[in-house]
A = this chain, B = another copy of it.
Amino acid sequence: MLSNASKYAIRSVLFLAKNSSKENKYGAKSISDELEIPLHFIAKLLQQLVKANVISSSKGPRGGFYTTTNDLNNNVCTILDEIEAGDVFEPCFMGLPQCGDENPCPVHHIVAPFKEAILEKFKHQSIADFAIEIKEDGTFLSLKGIDKK
């Protein structure tokens, strides 16, 4: 459903939202290490997100990527709009060109509520709120070094 690029981008932004500040920046290298994402790939994506004002950056020693309180007003869909070509959630799960409530594919009744739920989160929850939730719930953006049960 999401491309690797989108997954990488979302996790990176949420990571910065959770951990960074103007005084505490993260270089592409450390994000790459922390989230186990190919360095040059995530570097590209981060650049793109800076240009789109989703995150911020500064060059030079002690430079890196970070989020401002203003950046945090965005939501996850802002990221997707930047990375993906079209609407990621529009295409029918079974590939029908015009699947919808009126003309449903055989799994529409299962897929539609899921899409709604995820869209609610991605569209209507700010990055800031999402990051707070992640802190509170203790969910993960990386499982580096976590021993699998």
Residue from B95, B108, B121, B137 within 8 A of A11 (CB atoms): B95
User: Does B110 lie within 8 Å of A114, measured CB to CB?
Assistant: yes
Whether B106 and A110, one on each chain, are in contact in the complex, defined by CB atoms closer than 8 angstroms, is no
Taken together as a complex, chains A and B put the C-alpha atoms of A8 and B114 apart, in Å, by 22
Interface size on A, residues (CB 8 A): 43
A residues bordering B, Cβ < 8 Å?
1-2, 4, 7-8, 10-11, 14, 36, 93-100, 102-108, 110-111, 113-114, 117-118, 121, 130, 133-134, 137, 139-143, 146, 148-149
Provided the pairs A97-B36, A143-B97 are in contact, do residues A134 and B106 lie with their beta carbons within 8 angstroms?
yes
B93 touches A2 (CB 8 A): yes
